[in-house]
Amino acid sequence: MNISRTFVAGALALAAATPVVAQSVKRGDLTIATAWTRQTAPGQANGGGFMTITSSGGQADRLVGGSSPAAARVEIHTMSMDGGIMRMRPLPDGLAVPARGRLELKPGGYHIMLIGLKAPLKLGTTVPLTLRFQRGGAVTVQLKVEAISHGTGAGDVHKHH
């Protein structure tokens, strides 16, 4: 499980420490920080979306879906080992955002899947993504398009240079 509880103050400090280009969106109890995706090759059908979702609310919320003008549809995926092979599968019921906790979407774990990309995702651009939360409603973030190697280093999930 990639859900971990943390103090909101810590998450806010992390968001404040990232460069201006890193997107952080606050809507109600929810803060979505460091939203990014990877550049894709021409013809590549799908792309991933990664971010940290923090809740300062006393009640749990749930990420239940999303949409993007860049893709035919948006799914919430999990990744797990299946007979030695990494497989992803959609989570039709979405993912919980714990009360005063954090939901982490990152390579190799939970992620957003942009299915049916309408054009390749270009390095240095941003991709709008609207997330749908059970309690918090719709929140639009901008995924920063990073290099293919981004986020693959050990423990390097949130480093932006």
Rounded-to-integer distance, Cα 8 and Cα 58, Å: 12
* Amino acid in position 138: A
**Cβ-based neighbour number of residue 40 at 10 Å:** 20
Nearer to Cu ion, 112 or 139 (CB): 112
Which stretch, 16-24, 49-57, 60-68, 69-77, contacts Cu ion (CB under 5 A)? 69-77
Q: How far is the CB of 110 from Cu ion (least distance, A)?
A: 9
- For residue 60, count CB atoms less than 10 angstroms from its CB and return exposed for 0-12, middle for 13-18, buried for 19 or more: middle
Nearer to Cu ion, 59 or 152 (CB): 152
| 113 binds Cu ion, rule: CB under 5 A | yes
CA separation (Å) from 10 to 5, 7, 30, 41, 161?
11, 5, 14, 36, 21
Nearer to Cu ion, 28 or 109 (CB): 109
| 77 binds Cu ion, rule: CB under 5 A | yes
Q: How far is the CB of 10 from Cu ion (least distance, A)?
A: 28
Residues that bind Cu ion (CB under 5 A): 77, 88, 113
